[in-house]
Amino acid sequence: MSKLLLVFALSSCAVCAQVPQRTGSVHTAEVDLGYEVLGTSGGGTPLIAVNGGPGLSHAYMMQNDLWQRVAMARLVVLYDQRGTGQSKHMQADAPQNMEAQIADLEAVRNALSLDRVALLGDSYGGMVAMAYASAHPEHVERLILSDSSAPSWNSLVHLLPQVFPDREEQGKRDGKALSADKEAAAQAGLVNHMRMMFYSPDLREAYLSHMGDLGFVPAVGAAVQLATKDLDLTPKLAGFRFPTLVINGRYDMNVAPLTAWRIAHAIPGSQIVFFEKSGHLPAYEEPDKYLQILSTFLAPEGAKPPHKVAKRGEK
Protein backbone atom coordinates (compact mmCIF):
# COMPACT_ATOMS: atom_id res chain seq x y z
CA MET A 1 0.00 0.00 0.00
CA SER A 2 1.35 3.45 -0.94
CA LYS A 3 1.96 6.14 1.68
CA LEU A 4 -0.99 8.10 0.24
CA LEU A 5 -3.35 5.16 0.61
CA LEU A 6 -2.00 4.29 4.05
CA VAL A 7 -2.63 7.82 5.33
CA PHE A 8 -6.13 7.72 3.83
CA ALA A 9 -6.92 4.41 5.49
CA LEU A 10 -5.67 5.45 8.92
CA SER A 11 -7.52 8.78 8.78
CA SER A 12 -10.78 7.15 7.72
CA CYS A 13 -10.64 4.50 10.45
CA ALA A 14 -9.86 7.04 13.17
CA VAL A 15 -12.76 9.33 12.28
CA CYS A 16 -15.25 6.60 11.42
CA ALA A 17 -14.79 5.02 14.84
CA GLN A 18 -16.01 8.24 16.48
CA VAL A 19 -19.14 8.74 14.35
CA PRO A 20 -22.32 6.67 14.85
CA GLN A 21 -23.52 5.12 11.61
CA ARG A 22 -26.68 3.26 10.72
CA THR A 23 -28.57 2.18 7.63
CA GLY A 24 -32.25 1.80 6.96
CA SER A 25 -34.94 1.63 4.33
CA VAL A 26 -38.02 3.70 3.50
CA HIS A 27 -40.89 1.82 1.88
CA THR A 28 -43.00 3.62 -0.72
CA ALA A 29 -45.56 2.35 -3.22
CA GLU A 30 -42.95 2.35 -6.01
CA VAL A 31 -39.60 1.65 -4.37
CA ASP A 32 -37.83 0.77 -1.14
CA LEU A 33 -35.21 3.47 -0.61
CA GLY A 34 -32.00 2.50 1.17
CA TYR A 35 -30.31 5.22 3.20
CA GLU A 36 -27.27 5.76 5.43
CA VAL A 37 -27.19 8.06 8.47
CA LEU A 38 -23.96 9.41 9.95
CA GLY A 39 -23.72 11.20 13.29
CA THR A 40 -26.49 12.05 15.71
CA SER A 41 -29.23 14.64 15.93
CA GLY A 42 -28.96 17.54 18.33
CA GLY A 43 -26.07 19.30 16.65
CA GLY A 44 -26.28 21.66 13.71
CA THR A 45 -28.87 21.62 10.96
CA PRO A 46 -29.12 18.09 9.53
CA LEU A 47 -27.74 17.68 6.03
CA ILE A 48 -29.08 15.46 3.26
CA ALA A 49 -26.54 14.80 0.49
CA VAL A 50 -27.95 13.82 -2.90
CA ASN A 51 -25.47 11.92 -5.06
CA GLY A 52 -24.90 12.27 -8.77
CA GLY A 53 -25.01 9.92 -11.71
CA PRO A 54 -27.62 9.37 -12.84
CA GLY A 55 -27.45 5.62 -12.37
CA LEU A 56 -24.90 5.59 -9.53
CA SER A 57 -25.36 4.80 -5.85
CA HIS A 58 -23.94 7.14 -3.22
CA ALA A 59 -20.86 4.88 -2.87
CA TYR A 60 -18.70 7.18 -5.02
CA MET A 61 -19.12 9.90 -2.36
CA MET A 62 -17.86 7.63 0.43
CA GLN A 63 -14.28 7.17 -0.77
CA ASN A 64 -12.76 9.22 2.05
CA ASP A 65 -13.85 10.28 5.53
CA LEU A 66 -15.21 13.70 4.52
CA TRP A 67 -18.85 12.97 5.42
CA GLN A 68 -17.89 11.36 8.72
CA ARG A 69 -16.01 14.57 9.53
CA VAL A 70 -19.05 16.66 8.60
CA ALA A 71 -21.14 14.37 10.83
CA MET A 72 -19.04 15.30 13.87
CA ALA A 73 -21.19 18.45 14.05
CA ARG A 74 -24.53 17.41 12.53
CA LEU A 75 -26.61 14.54 11.23
CA VAL A 76 -25.68 13.57 7.66
CA VAL A 77 -28.02 11.50 5.48
CA LEU A 78 -27.16 9.88 2.15
CA TYR A 79 -29.50 7.63 0.19
CA ASP A 80 -29.51 5.61 -3.02
CA GLN A 81 -31.78 6.86 -5.77
CA ARG A 82 -34.42 4.49 -7.12
CA GLY A 83 -33.02 1.59 -9.10
CA THR A 84 -29.47 1.87 -7.70
CA GLY A 85 -27.46 0.55 -4.74
CA GLN A 86 -29.74 -0.40 -1.84
CA SER A 87 -32.80 0.99 -3.64
CA LYS A 88 -33.13 -1.64 -6.36
CA HIS A 89 -36.37 -3.14 -5.01
CA MET A 90 -38.60 -1.16 -7.33
CA GLN A 91 -41.75 -1.69 -9.38
CA ALA A 92 -40.91 -2.61 -12.95
CA ASP A 93 -42.98 0.25 -14.35
CA ALA A 94 -41.92 2.87 -11.81
CA PRO A 95 -41.10 6.21 -13.47
CA GLN A 96 -37.67 7.85 -13.43
CA ASN A 97 -38.84 11.42 -13.95
CA MET A 98 -37.98 14.32 -11.68
CA GLU A 99 -41.35 14.18 -9.91
CA ALA A 100 -40.42 10.66 -8.77
CA GLN A 101 -36.97 11.81 -7.60
CA ILE A 102 -38.55 14.65 -5.60
CA ALA A 103 -41.04 12.25 -4.03
CA ASP A 104 -38.24 9.85 -3.02
CA LEU A 105 -36.20 12.58 -1.37
CA GLU A 106 -39.32 13.81 0.44
CA ALA A 107 -40.03 10.25 1.61
CA VAL A 108 -36.54 9.94 3.11
CA ARG A 109 -36.78 13.35 4.83
CA ASN A 110 -40.22 12.58 6.22
CA ALA A 111 -39.29 9.08 7.43
CA LEU A 112 -36.38 10.51 9.41
CA SER A 113 -38.60 13.27 10.89
CA LEU A 114 -36.35 16.06 9.64
CA ASP A 115 -38.29 19.31 9.40
CA ARG A 116 -35.77 21.68 7.83
CA VAL A 117 -32.50 20.50 6.32
CA ALA A 118 -29.40 21.70 4.60
CA LEU A 119 -29.65 20.10 1.17
CA LEU A 120 -26.51 19.28 -0.81
CA GLY A 121 -26.65 18.12 -4.41
CA ASP A 122 -23.52 16.69 -6.02
CA SER A 123 -23.21 16.57 -9.83
CA TYR A 124 -26.56 15.30 -11.21
CA GLY A 125 -27.74 15.37 -7.59
CA GLY A 126 -27.62 19.15 -7.88
CA MET A 127 -30.45 19.01 -10.40
CA VAL A 128 -32.46 16.86 -7.99
CA ALA A 129 -31.68 19.28 -5.15
CA MET A 130 -32.78 22.29 -7.20
CA ALA A 131 -36.00 20.52 -8.18
CA TYR A 132 -36.73 19.52 -4.58
CA ALA A 133 -35.94 23.02 -3.31
CA SER A 134 -38.40 24.55 -5.76
CA ALA A 135 -41.10 22.02 -4.81
CA HIS A 136 -40.54 22.05 -1.03
CA PRO A 137 -38.84 25.30 -0.02
CA GLU A 138 -40.43 25.02 3.42
CA HIS A 139 -38.06 22.15 4.23
CA VAL A 140 -34.85 23.70 2.88
CA GLU A 141 -32.87 25.84 5.30
CA ARG A 142 -29.75 26.04 3.13
CA LEU A 143 -28.77 24.75 -0.30
CA ILE A 144 -25.34 23.58 -1.46
CA LEU A 145 -24.73 22.78 -5.12
CA SER A 146 -21.43 20.94 -5.52
CA ASP A 147 -20.12 20.63 -9.10
CA SER A 148 -23.80 20.56 -9.92
CA SER A 149 -25.41 19.77 -13.19
CA ALA A 150 -27.04 22.73 -14.87
CA PRO A 151 -30.77 23.32 -14.30
CA SER A 152 -31.31 21.81 -17.75
CA TRP A 153 -29.28 19.28 -19.72
CA ASN A 154 -29.14 21.67 -22.67
CA SER A 155 -27.36 24.37 -20.64
CA LEU A 156 -24.72 22.04 -19.18
CA VAL A 157 -21.17 22.99 -20.18
CA HIS A 158 -19.51 19.59 -20.65
CA LEU A 159 -15.92 19.61 -21.99
CA LEU A 160 -14.70 16.02 -21.64
CA PRO A 161 -14.64 15.30 -25.40
CA GLN A 162 -12.66 18.48 -26.07
CA VAL A 163 -10.18 18.01 -23.20
CA PHE A 164 -9.84 14.21 -23.17
CA PRO A 165 -10.17 13.07 -26.81
CA ASP A 166 -7.78 10.19 -26.09
CA ARG A 167 -9.87 8.95 -23.18
CA GLU A 168 -13.08 9.32 -25.16
CA GLU A 169 -11.57 7.27 -27.98
CA GLN A 170 -10.34 4.66 -25.48
CA GLY A 171 -13.85 4.40 -24.09
CA LYS A 172 -15.23 3.70 -27.55
CA ARG A 173 -12.60 1.02 -28.17
CA ASP A 174 -13.27 -0.64 -24.82
CA GLY A 175 -17.00 -0.60 -25.43
CA LYS A 176 -16.57 -2.21 -28.84
CA ALA A 177 -14.19 -4.87 -27.53
CA LEU A 178 -16.56 -5.78 -24.70
CA SER A 179 -19.80 -5.44 -26.65
CA ALA A 180 -20.70 -9.08 -25.97
CA ASP A 181 -20.66 -8.45 -22.21
CA LYS A 182 -22.80 -5.40 -21.47
CA GLU A 183 -22.01 -5.34 -17.75
CA ALA A 184 -18.26 -5.52 -18.31
CA ALA A 185 -18.50 -2.84 -20.99
CA ALA A 186 -20.48 -0.58 -18.65
CA GLN A 187 -17.97 -0.99 -15.83
CA ALA A 188 -15.02 -0.37 -18.17
CA GLY A 189 -16.78 2.75 -19.41
CA LEU A 190 -17.31 3.95 -15.83
CA VAL A 191 -13.63 3.47 -14.95
CA ASN A 192 -12.59 5.33 -18.08
CA HIS A 193 -15.03 8.11 -17.23
CA MET A 194 -13.70 8.38 -13.68
CA ARG A 195 -10.18 8.82 -15.04
CA MET A 196 -11.32 12.16 -16.44
CA MET A 197 -12.72 13.49 -13.15
CA PHE A 198 -9.51 14.54 -11.38
CA TYR A 199 -7.00 17.38 -11.23
CA SER A 200 -4.33 15.32 -9.43
CA PRO A 201 -2.99 12.17 -11.16
CA ASP A 202 -1.93 10.74 -7.78
CA LEU A 203 -5.35 11.23 -6.23
CA ARG A 204 -6.96 9.83 -9.36
CA GLU A 205 -4.97 6.61 -9.07
CA ALA A 206 -5.62 6.43 -5.33
CA TYR A 207 -9.36 6.78 -5.90
CA LEU A 208 -9.45 4.20 -8.68
CA SER A 209 -7.42 1.72 -6.65
CA HIS A 210 -9.98 1.52 -3.84
CA MET A 211 -13.29 2.71 -5.33
CA GLY A 212 -14.80 -0.78 -5.60
CA ASP A 213 -18.36 -1.20 -6.85
CA LEU A 214 -20.08 2.17 -7.29
CA GLY A 215 -23.43 0.54 -7.98
CA PHE A 216 -23.57 1.75 -11.58
CA VAL A 217 -26.79 0.76 -13.38
CA PRO A 218 -26.60 2.08 -16.98
CA ALA A 219 -30.28 1.40 -17.67
CA VAL A 220 -31.30 3.62 -14.75
CA GLY A 221 -29.02 6.42 -15.93
CA ALA A 222 -30.44 6.21 -19.44
CA ALA A 223 -34.03 6.18 -18.15
CA VAL A 224 -33.44 9.24 -15.96
CA GLN A 225 -31.83 11.21 -18.76
CA LEU A 226 -34.67 10.33 -21.12
CA ALA A 227 -37.32 11.27 -18.55
CA THR A 228 -35.64 14.62 -17.75
CA LYS A 229 -34.36 15.60 -21.22
CA ASP A 230 -36.83 18.50 -21.54
CA LEU A 231 -36.71 19.61 -17.92
CA ASP A 232 -35.60 23.21 -17.34
CA LEU A 233 -35.46 24.48 -13.76
CA THR A 234 -33.85 27.81 -14.71
CA PRO A 235 -37.00 29.91 -14.12
CA LYS A 236 -37.29 28.47 -10.59
CA LEU A 237 -33.86 29.67 -9.42
CA ALA A 238 -34.78 33.35 -9.16
CA GLY A 239 -37.38 32.44 -6.55
CA PHE A 240 -34.96 30.75 -4.13
CA ARG A 241 -34.94 32.63 -0.82
CA PHE A 242 -32.66 30.41 1.27
CA PRO A 243 -28.87 30.88 1.53
CA THR A 244 -27.19 29.04 -1.32
CA LEU A 245 -23.58 27.98 -1.78
CA VAL A 246 -22.26 26.95 -5.20
CA ILE A 247 -19.04 24.91 -5.28
CA ASN A 248 -17.02 23.86 -8.32
CA GLY A 249 -13.62 22.40 -9.08
CA ARG A 250 -11.64 24.87 -11.20
CA TYR A 251 -10.55 22.03 -13.50
CA ASP A 252 -13.86 20.20 -13.69
CA MET A 253 -14.30 19.30 -17.35
CA ASN A 254 -17.39 17.16 -16.69
CA VAL A 255 -19.35 20.17 -15.43
CA ALA A 256 -17.24 23.16 -16.39
CA PRO A 257 -17.03 26.14 -13.96
CA LEU A 258 -19.10 28.28 -16.31
CA THR A 259 -22.08 26.14 -15.33
CA ALA A 260 -21.56 26.97 -11.65
CA TRP A 261 -21.04 30.64 -12.49
CA ARG A 262 -24.37 30.80 -14.31
CA ILE A 263 -26.21 28.97 -11.52
CA ALA A 264 -24.78 31.29 -8.88
CA HIS A 265 -25.81 34.36 -10.85
CA ALA A 266 -29.33 32.99 -11.29
CA ILE A 267 -29.91 32.48 -7.54
CA PRO A 268 -30.30 35.73 -5.57
CA GLY A 269 -27.61 36.31 -2.92
CA SER A 270 -25.78 33.06 -3.59
CA GLN A 271 -22.12 32.45 -2.80
CA ILE A 272 -19.64 30.74 -5.10
CA VAL A 273 -16.33 29.07 -4.31
CA PHE A 274 -13.91 27.53 -6.80
CA PHE A 275 -11.52 24.82 -5.70
CA GLU A 276 -8.22 25.51 -7.43
CA LYS A 277 -6.76 22.00 -7.22
CA SER A 278 -9.83 19.95 -8.08
CA GLY A 279 -11.65 18.43 -10.98
CA HIS A 280 -15.19 17.10 -10.57
CA LEU A 281 -14.68 15.80 -7.01
CA PRO A 282 -13.38 18.58 -4.72
CA ALA A 283 -14.74 16.72 -1.68
CA TYR A 284 -12.14 14.06 -2.47
CA GLU A 285 -9.28 16.16 -3.87
CA GLU A 286 -9.44 19.01 -1.35
CA PRO A 287 -11.37 17.57 1.61
CA ASP A 288 -9.92 19.92 4.25
CA LYS A 289 -10.91 23.02 2.31
CA TYR A 290 -14.28 21.46 1.45
CA LEU A 291 -14.99 20.79 5.14
CA GLN A 292 -13.93 24.32 6.09
CA ILE A 293 -16.07 26.00 3.45
CA LEU A 294 -19.06 23.79 4.22
CA SER A 295 -18.72 24.32 7.98
CA THR A 296 -18.50 28.08 7.52
CA PHE A 297 -21.59 28.15 5.34
CA LEU A 298 -23.57 25.96 7.74
CA ALA A 299 -22.47 27.84 10.87
CA PRO A 300 -25.35 29.39 12.87
CA GLU A 301 -26.07 33.02 12.14
CA GLY A 302 -23.84 35.22 14.28
CA ALA A 303 -21.19 32.54 14.82
CA LYS A 304 -17.64 33.56 14.03
CA PRO A 305 -16.72 31.55 10.92
CA PRO A 306 -13.27 29.97 10.61
CA HIS A 307 -13.00 31.23 7.05
CA LYS A 308 -14.93 33.89 5.17
CA VAL A 309 -16.72 32.50 2.12
CA ALA A 310 -16.54 35.10 -0.63
CA LYS A 311 -19.75 36.14 -2.26
CA ARG A 312 -19.99 36.81 -5.98
CA GLY A 313 -17.86 39.78 -6.97
CA GLU A 314 -15.71 39.62 -3.83
CA LYS A 315 -12.10 38.52 -3.76
Q: Is the pLDDT of residue 190 over 80?
A: yes
- Provide, rounded to the nearest whole percent, the portion of the chain with pLDDT above 90: 78
pLDDT of residue 127: 98
**Rounded mean pLDDT of 111-132?**
98
314 — pLDDT class (breaks 50, 70, 90): very low
- For residue 186, is it within any domain? no
Q: Is the pLDDT of residue 202 over 50?
A: yes
- For residue 123, is it within any domain? yes
Domain interval for residue 99: 3-159+213-298
CATH code of 26's domain = 3.40.50.1820
Domain total of the chain = 1
pTM of the model: 0.90
- For residue 174, is it within any domain? no
Q: Is the pLDDT of residue 181 over 80?
A: no
Q: Which of 146-150, 209-213, 244-248 has the lowest mean pLDDT?
A: 209-213
- For residue 57, is it within any domain? yes
What's the CA gap between 123 and 273, in Å, rounded?
Answer: 15
